[in-house]
Copies of this chain bind each other. A is one copy, B any other.
Amino acid sequence: MSKPGLPQGTRDFSAAVVRKRQYIFNTIRTVFERYGFQPLETPAMENLDTLMGKYGEEGDKLIFKILNNGLDNPAKHDAATADFEKVLQGKNTKGITERALRYDLTIPFARYVAMNHGQLTMPFKRYQVQPVWRADRPQKGRYREFYQCDADVVGSYSLLNEVELANIYATVFAQLGVRVEIRINSRKILAALAEICGGADKMTDITIAVDKLDKIGIEKVKEELIQRGLNTQQVATIETYLHIEGDNAGKINQLRSLLGNNTTGQKGIEEIEYLLSFSQLTNNNSPLTTDFTLARGLNYYTGIIFEVKALDVQMGSIGGGGRYDDLTGLFGVPNVPGVGISFGVDRIYDVMEELQLFPDAVQAGTRVLFFNLGDAESKAAFVLMQQLREKGIAAELYHENSKFDKQFKYAEKKQIPFAVIIGSKELETGTCVVRQLSDGQQQTIPQSALAGRSF
Protein backbone atom coordinates (compact mmCIF):
# COMPACT_ATOMS: atom_id res chain seq x y z
CA MET A 1 0.00 0.00 0.00
CA SER A 2 1.51 3.31 -1.10
CA LYS A 3 1.40 6.38 1.08
CA PRO A 4 -1.74 8.37 0.27
CA GLY A 5 -1.31 11.71 -1.46
CA LEU A 6 -3.10 14.42 -3.39
CA PRO A 7 -3.09 14.96 -7.16
CA GLN A 8 -0.60 17.65 -8.19
CA GLY A 9 -2.05 21.12 -8.11
CA THR A 10 -4.92 20.27 -5.74
CA ARG A 11 -5.32 21.14 -2.08
CA ASP A 12 -7.06 20.12 1.11
CA PHE A 13 -8.48 23.06 3.02
CA SER A 14 -8.43 22.57 6.76
CA ALA A 15 -10.81 24.40 9.08
CA ALA A 16 -8.81 27.61 9.54
CA VAL A 17 -8.42 28.02 5.78
CA VAL A 18 -12.01 27.07 4.97
CA ARG A 19 -13.20 29.73 7.40
CA LYS A 20 -11.02 32.44 5.89
CA ARG A 21 -12.06 31.49 2.39
CA GLN A 22 -15.71 31.46 3.45
CA TYR A 23 -15.24 34.93 4.85
CA ILE A 24 -14.11 36.14 1.42
CA PHE A 25 -16.87 34.24 -0.40
CA ASN A 26 -19.57 35.45 1.98
CA THR A 27 -18.44 39.06 1.72
CA ILE A 28 -18.57 38.89 -2.07
CA ARG A 29 -21.88 37.02 -2.13
CA THR A 30 -23.52 39.47 0.24
CA VAL A 31 -22.51 42.39 -1.96
CA PHE A 32 -23.66 40.59 -5.12
CA GLU A 33 -27.06 40.02 -3.50
CA ARG A 34 -27.28 43.62 -2.37
CA TYR A 35 -26.81 44.66 -5.99
CA GLY A 36 -29.67 42.44 -7.16
CA PHE A 37 -27.59 39.57 -8.54
CA GLN A 38 -28.97 36.06 -8.19
CA PRO A 39 -27.08 32.85 -7.60
CA LEU A 40 -26.63 30.17 -10.25
CA GLU A 41 -24.95 26.79 -9.91
CA THR A 42 -24.02 24.60 -12.86
CA PRO A 43 -22.65 21.05 -12.78
CA ALA A 44 -18.91 20.37 -12.62
CA MET A 45 -19.30 18.08 -15.62
CA GLU A 46 -20.32 19.56 -18.97
CA ASN A 47 -20.67 17.85 -22.30
CA LEU A 48 -17.30 18.01 -24.01
CA ASP A 49 -19.02 19.64 -27.02
CA THR A 50 -20.02 22.56 -24.83
CA LEU A 51 -16.44 23.32 -23.84
CA MET A 52 -14.27 22.43 -26.81
CA GLY A 53 -13.26 25.21 -29.16
CA LYS A 54 -14.19 27.99 -26.72
CA TYR A 55 -10.82 28.66 -25.11
CA GLY A 56 -8.46 28.62 -28.08
CA GLU A 57 -6.11 25.80 -28.97
CA GLU A 58 -4.09 26.13 -25.77
CA GLY A 59 -7.20 26.19 -23.62
CA ASP A 60 -8.62 23.07 -25.25
CA LYS A 61 -5.52 21.17 -24.24
CA LEU A 62 -5.99 22.16 -20.60
CA ILE A 63 -9.51 20.79 -20.30
CA PHE A 64 -9.81 17.75 -18.04
CA LYS A 65 -11.77 15.12 -19.94
CA ILE A 66 -13.65 12.28 -18.29
CA LEU A 67 -13.10 8.75 -19.49
CA ASN A 68 -16.32 7.03 -20.49
CA ASN A 69 -17.41 4.27 -18.16
CA GLY A 70 -18.03 0.76 -19.35
CA LEU A 71 -15.17 0.64 -21.89
CA ASP A 72 -14.44 -2.91 -20.70
CA ASN A 73 -17.68 -4.06 -22.33
CA PRO A 74 -16.38 -6.55 -24.96
CA ALA A 75 -19.05 -5.48 -27.46
CA LYS A 76 -17.41 -2.05 -27.55
CA HIS A 77 -13.78 -3.12 -27.90
CA ASP A 78 -13.33 -2.63 -31.60
CA ALA A 79 -15.01 0.75 -31.70
CA ALA A 80 -13.13 1.88 -28.59
CA THR A 81 -9.78 0.82 -30.03
CA ALA A 82 -10.48 2.77 -33.21
CA ASP A 83 -11.64 5.76 -31.19
CA PHE A 84 -8.56 5.67 -29.05
CA GLU A 85 -6.43 5.98 -32.17
CA LYS A 86 -8.09 9.34 -32.70
CA VAL A 87 -7.35 10.43 -29.12
CA LEU A 88 -3.69 9.77 -29.89
CA GLN A 89 -4.09 12.15 -32.84
CA GLY A 90 -5.31 14.83 -30.45
CA LYS A 91 -8.96 14.46 -31.45
CA ASN A 92 -11.82 13.83 -29.07
CA THR A 93 -14.18 11.03 -29.76
CA LYS A 94 -17.43 10.27 -28.03
CA GLY A 95 -16.33 6.66 -27.82
CA ILE A 96 -13.65 7.54 -25.27
CA THR A 97 -14.74 10.79 -23.65
CA GLU A 98 -17.90 12.83 -23.94
CA ARG A 99 -17.80 14.81 -20.72
CA ALA A 100 -15.31 17.19 -19.18
CA LEU A 101 -14.77 19.33 -16.10
CA ARG A 102 -15.68 22.97 -16.54
CA TYR A 103 -12.74 25.21 -17.36
CA ASP A 104 -14.36 28.48 -16.31
CA LEU A 105 -17.78 29.79 -15.29
CA THR A 106 -18.44 31.89 -18.38
CA ILE A 107 -19.08 29.14 -20.95
CA PRO A 108 -21.36 27.14 -18.62
CA PHE A 109 -23.22 30.40 -17.96
CA ALA A 110 -23.52 31.03 -21.71
CA ARG A 111 -24.79 27.47 -22.15
CA TYR A 112 -27.33 28.07 -19.36
CA VAL A 113 -28.54 31.34 -20.85
CA ALA A 114 -28.83 29.75 -24.31
CA MET A 115 -30.84 26.84 -22.88
CA ASN A 116 -33.16 28.99 -20.74
CA HIS A 117 -33.31 32.12 -22.81
CA GLY A 118 -37.08 32.34 -23.01
CA GLN A 119 -37.62 32.04 -19.25
CA LEU A 120 -35.08 34.55 -17.98
CA THR A 121 -36.06 38.07 -16.93
CA MET A 122 -33.77 40.41 -18.87
CA PRO A 123 -31.47 42.01 -17.98
CA PHE A 124 -30.44 38.82 -16.21
CA LYS A 125 -27.97 39.32 -13.38
CA ARG A 126 -26.35 36.19 -12.08
CA TYR A 127 -23.45 35.41 -9.82
CA GLN A 128 -21.67 32.12 -9.53
CA VAL A 129 -19.06 30.89 -7.04
CA GLN A 130 -17.77 27.46 -7.97
CA PRO A 131 -14.55 25.57 -8.65
CA VAL A 132 -13.04 25.14 -12.11
CA TRP A 133 -10.36 22.73 -13.33
CA ARG A 134 -7.40 23.29 -15.61
CA ALA A 135 -4.58 20.92 -16.53
CA ASP A 136 -2.06 23.73 -16.27
CA ARG A 137 1.42 23.08 -14.97
CA PRO A 138 1.06 23.72 -11.21
CA GLN A 139 3.24 26.46 -9.73
CA LYS A 140 3.16 28.92 -6.86
CA GLY A 141 -0.31 30.41 -6.81
CA ARG A 142 -1.51 28.35 -9.77
CA TYR A 143 -3.68 25.33 -9.09
CA ARG A 144 -5.47 22.70 -11.14
CA GLU A 145 -8.61 23.09 -9.10
CA PHE A 146 -9.55 26.57 -7.96
CA TYR A 147 -12.61 28.72 -7.35
CA GLN A 148 -13.94 31.40 -9.63
CA CYS A 149 -16.31 34.02 -8.40
CA ASP A 150 -18.15 35.80 -11.22
CA ALA A 151 -20.96 38.31 -11.65
CA ASP A 152 -22.43 39.03 -15.08
CA VAL A 153 -25.34 41.02 -16.47
CA VAL A 154 -26.68 39.88 -19.82
CA GLY A 155 -29.33 41.35 -22.09
CA SER A 156 -28.46 45.01 -21.62
CA TYR A 157 -26.22 47.49 -23.43
CA SER A 158 -26.59 50.08 -20.66
CA LEU A 159 -23.40 51.45 -19.15
CA LEU A 160 -25.18 51.55 -15.81
CA ASN A 161 -24.20 47.89 -15.57
CA GLU A 162 -20.54 48.83 -15.76
CA VAL A 163 -21.17 51.47 -13.09
CA GLU A 164 -22.70 48.82 -10.86
CA LEU A 165 -19.91 46.31 -11.38
CA ALA A 166 -17.25 48.93 -10.64
CA ASN A 167 -19.13 49.72 -7.44
CA ILE A 168 -19.28 46.04 -6.53
CA TYR A 169 -15.50 45.88 -6.80
CA ALA A 170 -15.10 49.02 -4.69
CA THR A 171 -17.56 47.81 -2.05
CA VAL A 172 -16.18 44.28 -1.72
CA PHE A 173 -12.57 45.38 -1.38
CA ALA A 174 -13.51 48.14 1.06
CA GLN A 175 -15.33 45.56 3.18
CA LEU A 176 -12.39 43.17 3.05
CA GLY A 177 -10.05 46.02 3.99
CA VAL A 178 -7.93 45.54 0.85
CA ARG A 179 -6.83 48.87 -0.67
CA VAL A 180 -7.11 48.61 -4.44
CA GLU A 181 -6.91 50.47 -7.69
CA ILE A 182 -9.69 49.58 -10.13
CA ARG A 183 -8.17 50.19 -13.53
CA ILE A 184 -10.56 50.91 -16.36
CA ASN A 185 -10.17 51.29 -20.07
CA SER A 186 -12.39 50.86 -23.11
CA ARG A 187 -11.60 48.55 -25.98
CA LYS A 188 -13.06 51.30 -28.14
CA ILE A 189 -10.10 53.48 -27.19
CA LEU A 190 -7.70 50.73 -28.20
CA ALA A 191 -9.67 50.35 -31.43
CA ALA A 192 -9.30 54.07 -32.06
CA LEU A 193 -5.58 53.84 -31.47
CA ALA A 194 -5.44 51.07 -34.09
CA GLU A 195 -7.48 53.18 -36.48
CA ILE A 196 -5.02 56.08 -36.29
CA CYS A 197 -2.05 53.65 -36.44
CA GLY A 198 -2.31 51.53 -39.52
CA GLY A 199 -5.99 50.72 -39.53
CA ALA A 200 -8.58 48.70 -37.65
CA ASP A 201 -7.00 45.40 -38.75
CA LYS A 202 -3.98 46.22 -36.56
CA MET A 203 -6.19 46.14 -33.43
CA THR A 204 -5.26 42.58 -32.44
CA ASP A 205 -1.53 43.12 -33.02
CA ILE A 206 -1.54 46.31 -31.00
CA THR A 207 -3.65 44.83 -28.19
CA ILE A 208 -1.47 41.76 -27.83
CA ALA A 209 1.72 43.84 -27.70
CA VAL A 210 0.30 46.48 -25.32
CA ASP A 211 -1.05 43.74 -23.03
CA LYS A 212 2.54 42.71 -22.36
CA LEU A 213 3.68 46.15 -21.20
CA ASP A 214 3.70 45.24 -17.48
CA LYS A 215 5.69 42.07 -18.15
CA ILE A 216 8.24 43.06 -20.77
CA GLY A 217 8.52 46.87 -20.61
CA ILE A 218 8.07 49.52 -23.26
CA GLU A 219 11.19 48.80 -25.32
CA LYS A 220 10.22 45.19 -25.94
CA VAL A 221 6.66 46.24 -26.74
CA LYS A 222 8.04 48.60 -29.38
CA GLU A 223 10.18 45.82 -30.84
CA GLU A 224 7.18 43.54 -30.99
CA LEU A 225 5.10 46.21 -32.71
CA ILE A 226 7.77 46.62 -35.38
CA GLN A 227 7.89 42.85 -35.84
CA ARG A 228 4.13 42.87 -36.21
CA GLY A 229 4.49 45.23 -39.15
CA LEU A 230 3.91 48.70 -37.74
CA ASN A 231 6.13 51.51 -38.97
CA THR A 232 8.22 53.83 -36.82
CA GLN A 233 5.72 56.65 -36.96
CA GLN A 234 2.90 54.40 -35.84
CA VAL A 235 5.05 52.98 -33.06
CA ALA A 236 5.87 56.53 -31.98
CA THR A 237 2.16 57.31 -31.73
CA ILE A 238 1.64 54.19 -29.64
CA GLU A 239 4.55 55.18 -27.43
CA THR A 240 2.98 58.58 -26.83
CA TYR A 241 -0.24 56.78 -25.98
CA LEU A 242 1.50 54.47 -23.53
CA HIS A 243 3.16 57.45 -21.84
CA ILE A 244 -0.10 59.20 -21.04
CA GLU A 245 -0.11 59.95 -17.33
CA GLY A 246 -1.56 62.12 -14.60
CA ASP A 247 -4.92 62.07 -12.83
CA ASN A 248 -8.03 60.81 -14.60
CA ALA A 249 -8.96 64.20 -16.08
CA GLY A 250 -5.40 64.87 -17.19
CA LYS A 251 -5.08 61.51 -18.88
CA ILE A 252 -8.38 61.96 -20.69
CA ASN A 253 -7.22 65.36 -22.02
CA GLN A 254 -3.98 63.92 -23.39
CA LEU A 255 -5.87 61.03 -24.93
CA ARG A 256 -8.40 63.34 -26.53
CA SER A 257 -5.70 65.36 -28.26
CA LEU A 258 -3.92 62.20 -29.42
CA LEU A 259 -7.04 60.58 -30.89
CA GLY A 260 -8.35 63.82 -32.39
CA ASN A 261 -11.85 63.48 -33.78
CA ASN A 262 -11.80 59.73 -34.22
CA THR A 263 -15.43 58.67 -33.61
CA THR A 264 -14.64 55.32 -31.99
CA GLY A 265 -12.23 57.06 -29.65
CA GLN A 266 -14.81 59.65 -28.68
CA LYS A 267 -17.29 56.91 -27.82
CA GLY A 268 -14.67 55.17 -25.70
CA ILE A 269 -13.89 58.39 -23.84
CA GLU A 270 -17.60 58.98 -23.23
CA GLU A 271 -17.88 55.53 -21.67
CA ILE A 272 -14.98 56.25 -19.34
CA GLU A 273 -16.36 59.65 -18.40
CA TYR A 274 -19.79 58.15 -17.68
CA LEU A 275 -18.26 55.67 -15.27
CA LEU A 276 -16.19 58.33 -13.55
CA SER A 277 -19.17 60.65 -13.17
CA PHE A 278 -21.13 58.00 -11.26
CA SER A 279 -18.15 56.99 -9.23
CA GLN A 280 -17.75 60.56 -8.01
CA LEU A 281 -21.41 60.77 -6.96
CA THR A 282 -21.00 58.62 -3.88
CA ASN A 283 -17.31 58.23 -3.38
CA ASN A 284 -14.98 61.09 -2.56
CA ASN A 285 -12.06 58.77 -2.78
CA SER A 286 -12.95 56.62 -5.74
CA PRO A 287 -10.60 53.75 -6.53
CA LEU A 288 -11.44 54.02 -10.27
CA THR A 289 -8.33 54.83 -12.29
CA THR A 290 -8.17 55.21 -16.04
CA ASP A 291 -5.38 53.14 -17.51
CA PHE A 292 -5.24 53.30 -21.30
CA THR A 293 -2.47 50.70 -21.38
CA LEU A 294 -4.91 48.15 -20.00
CA ALA A 295 -5.70 45.77 -22.86
CA ARG A 296 -6.78 42.35 -21.48
CA GLY A 297 -5.75 40.15 -24.38
CA LEU A 298 -9.05 38.38 -24.85
CA ASN A 299 -10.66 39.04 -28.18
CA TYR A 300 -14.25 39.01 -27.07
CA TYR A 301 -14.19 42.25 -25.07
CA THR A 302 -15.75 45.16 -26.92
CA GLY A 303 -16.28 48.00 -24.45
CA ILE A 304 -15.21 48.84 -20.93
CA ILE A 305 -12.60 46.55 -19.43
CA PHE A 306 -11.64 46.26 -15.75
CA GLU A 307 -8.64 45.11 -13.82
CA VAL A 308 -8.11 45.29 -10.05
CA LYS A 309 -4.71 45.57 -8.41
CA ALA A 310 -3.92 45.50 -4.71
CA LEU A 311 -2.05 48.64 -3.65
CA ASP A 312 -0.11 47.28 -0.69
CA VAL A 313 1.18 43.97 -2.03
CA GLN A 314 3.08 43.05 -5.17
CA MET A 315 0.72 40.65 -6.89
CA GLY A 316 -0.91 40.07 -10.27
CA SER A 317 -4.45 41.33 -10.80
CA ILE A 318 -6.98 40.18 -8.19
CA GLY A 319 -9.99 40.86 -10.39
CA GLY A 320 -10.87 41.52 -13.99
CA GLY A 321 -13.69 41.71 -16.47
CA GLY A 322 -15.34 43.66 -19.22
CA ARG A 323 -18.10 43.99 -21.77
CA TYR A 324 -18.65 41.47 -24.52
CA ASP A 325 -21.17 41.77 -27.31
CA ASP A 326 -22.15 38.20 -27.92
CA LEU A 327 -22.25 35.69 -25.11
CA THR A 328 -24.47 32.96 -26.49
CA GLY A 329 -23.97 33.17 -30.25
CA LEU A 330 -21.80 30.07 -30.03
CA PHE A 331 -24.84 28.21 -28.73
CA GLY A 332 -27.25 29.44 -31.35
CA VAL A 333 -28.76 32.41 -29.50
CA PRO A 334 -27.43 35.63 -31.06
CA ASN A 335 -27.57 39.24 -29.81
CA VAL A 336 -27.14 38.67 -26.10
CA PRO A 337 -24.69 41.34 -24.96
CA GLY A 338 -23.23 41.28 -21.51
CA VAL A 339 -20.70 42.57 -19.06
CA GLY A 340 -19.06 40.72 -16.21
CA ILE A 341 -16.41 40.74 -13.53
CA SER A 342 -14.47 38.06 -11.75
CA PHE A 343 -12.75 37.92 -8.36
CA GLY A 344 -9.44 36.08 -8.05
CA VAL A 345 -10.16 34.46 -4.73
CA ASP A 346 -6.88 32.61 -4.28
CA ARG A 347 -4.89 35.80 -4.80
CA ILE A 348 -7.23 37.84 -2.61
CA TYR A 349 -6.64 35.23 0.08
CA ASP A 350 -2.87 35.60 -0.31
CA VAL A 351 -3.09 39.41 -0.16
CA MET A 352 -5.23 39.31 2.98
CA GLU A 353 -2.96 36.76 4.60
CA GLU A 354 0.14 38.85 3.85
CA LEU A 355 -1.48 42.02 5.19
CA GLN A 356 -3.08 40.14 8.11
CA LEU A 357 -6.51 41.43 7.21
CA PHE A 358 -8.61 38.47 8.37
CA PRO A 359 -10.56 39.43 11.50
CA ASP A 360 -9.98 37.13 14.49
CA ALA A 361 -13.70 36.47 14.67
CA VAL A 362 -13.45 34.50 11.41
CA GLN A 363 -11.94 31.66 13.41
CA ALA A 364 -14.84 31.44 15.85
CA GLY A 365 -14.89 27.74 16.71
CA THR A 366 -16.08 26.17 19.94
CA ARG A 367 -16.56 28.72 22.75
CA VAL A 368 -17.09 26.44 25.74
CA LEU A 369 -15.69 23.05 26.69
CA PHE A 370 -17.61 21.17 29.38
CA PHE A 371 -15.32 18.90 31.32
CA ASN A 372 -16.24 15.25 31.66
CA LEU A 373 -15.73 14.09 35.25
CA GLY A 374 -17.93 11.01 35.42
CA ASP A 375 -21.25 9.65 34.38
CA ALA A 376 -23.63 11.68 36.52
CA GLU A 377 -21.43 14.77 36.17
CA SER A 378 -21.37 14.52 32.39
CA LYS A 379 -25.14 14.20 32.25
CA ALA A 380 -25.54 17.41 34.22
CA ALA A 381 -22.98 19.03 31.93
CA PHE A 382 -24.82 17.72 28.89
CA VAL A 383 -28.09 19.37 29.92
CA LEU A 384 -26.37 22.71 30.48
CA MET A 385 -24.47 22.40 27.23
CA GLN A 386 -27.69 21.95 25.29
CA GLN A 387 -28.97 25.19 26.82
CA LEU A 388 -25.93 27.06 25.55
CA ARG A 389 -26.22 25.54 22.09
CA GLU A 390 -29.84 26.58 21.93
CA LYS A 391 -28.62 30.11 22.49
CA GLY A 392 -26.30 29.71 19.52
CA ILE A 393 -23.11 29.17 21.52
CA ALA A 394 -20.83 26.48 20.12
CA ALA A 395 -20.04 24.06 22.93
CA GLU A 396 -18.58 20.61 23.46
CA LEU A 397 -18.51 18.01 26.21
CA TYR A 398 -15.18 16.23 26.47
CA HIS A 399 -15.73 12.77 25.05
CA GLU A 400 -14.60 10.76 28.07
CA ASN A 401 -13.84 11.01 31.75
CA SER A 402 -10.13 11.86 31.63
CA LYS A 403 -7.61 13.66 33.76
CA PHE A 404 -7.97 17.44 34.03
CA ASP A 405 -4.70 17.88 32.17
CA LYS A 406 -5.88 16.05 29.12
CA GLN A 407 -9.12 18.00 28.96
CA PHE A 408 -7.31 21.33 29.38
CA LYS A 409 -4.90 20.32 26.64
CA TYR A 410 -7.79 19.62 24.28
CA ALA A 411 -9.30 23.04 24.99
CA GLU A 412 -5.95 24.69 24.45
CA LYS A 413 -5.26 22.96 21.13
CA LYS A 414 -8.70 23.82 19.84
CA GLN A 415 -8.36 27.38 21.20
CA ILE A 416 -11.58 27.08 23.18
CA PRO A 417 -11.76 30.17 25.44
CA PHE A 418 -13.95 28.84 28.29
CA ALA A 419 -14.14 25.66 30.36
CA VAL A 420 -17.15 24.73 32.47
CA ILE A 421 -16.31 22.24 35.19
CA ILE A 422 -18.85 20.16 37.11
CA GLY A 423 -17.27 17.73 39.54
CA SER A 424 -18.94 15.77 42.34
CA LYS A 425 -18.99 18.82 44.63
CA GLU A 426 -20.61 21.06 42.01
CA LEU A 427 -23.06 18.30 41.16
CA GLU A 428 -24.16 18.20 44.79
CA THR A 429 -24.52 21.95 45.18
CA GLY A 430 -26.04 22.59 41.72
CA THR A 431 -23.15 24.86 40.77
CA CYS A 432 -20.47 24.90 38.13
CA VAL A 433 -17.04 26.46 37.75
CA VAL A 434 -16.56 28.75 34.77
CA ARG A 435 -12.92 29.19 33.89
CA GLN A 436 -11.48 31.59 31.37
CA LEU A 437 -8.59 29.72 29.86
CA SER A 438 -6.56 32.72 28.69
CA ASP A 439 -5.83 33.91 32.23
CA GLY A 440 -7.07 31.09 34.46
CA GLN A 441 -9.65 33.35 36.12
CA GLN A 442 -12.57 31.33 37.39
CA GLN A 443 -15.77 31.68 39.34
CA THR A 444 -18.35 29.32 40.77
CA ILE A 445 -21.93 30.10 39.77
CA PRO A 446 -25.29 28.33 40.06
CA GLN A 447 -25.92 26.01 37.12
CA SER A 448 -29.16 27.87 36.50
CA ALA A 449 -27.19 31.07 35.85
CA LEU A 450 -24.93 29.58 33.20
CA ALA A 451 -27.14 30.08 30.15
CA GLY A 452 -27.63 33.73 31.10
CA ARG A 453 -23.91 34.41 31.07
CA SER A 454 -22.08 35.64 28.00
CA PHE A 455 -19.29 33.60 26.41
Q: Taking beta carbons and an 8 Å cutoff, which residues of A are in contact with B? A: 1-7, 10-15, 18-19, 22, 33-36, 38-47, 49-50, 61-62, 64-67, 69-72, 77, 80-81, 84, 87-90, 96-99, 101, 111-112, 114-116, 121, 123, 125-126, 131, 133, 135, 144-145, 153, 156, 158, 160-161, 163-164, 167, 171, 277-278, 281-282, 330-332, 365-366, 372, 378-379, 382-383, 386, 389, 392-397, 399-400, 410, 413-414
List B contacts of A65 (CB < 8 A). Answer: 66-67, 69
Copies of the polypeptide in the assembly? 2
A410 CB contact (under 8 Å) in B15, B98, B121, B386: B121
List B contacts of A67 (CB < 8 A). Answer: 64-67, 87, 96-97
Quick check: B4 and A115 within 8 Å, CB to CB?
A: yes
List B contacts of A167 (CB < 8 A). Answer: 386
| Distance from A142 Cβ to chain B, minimum over Cβ atoms (Å) | 15
CA gap between A70 and B121 in the complex, in Å? 42
A395 CB contact (under 8 Å) in B34, B114, B331, B394: B34
CA gap between A397 and B165 in the complex, in Å? 13
Quick check: B379 and A34 within 8 Å, CB to CB?
A: no
Q: Across the A-B interface, give the 8 residue pairs with the lowest CB-CB distance, nearest first.
A: A72-B90, A10-B43, A15-B38, A36-B396, A13-B41, A158-B399, A18-B39, A121-B413
CA gap between A331 and B6 in the complex, in Å? 13
CA gap between A409 and B81 in the complex, in Å? 57
List B contacts of A400 (CB < 8 A). Answer: 156, 158, 160
| Distance from A345 Cβ to chain B, minimum over Cβ atoms (Å) | 13
List B contacts of A42 (CB < 8 A). Answer: 12-13
A35-B396, A365-B36, A399-B160 given; A145·B43 CB < 8 A: yes
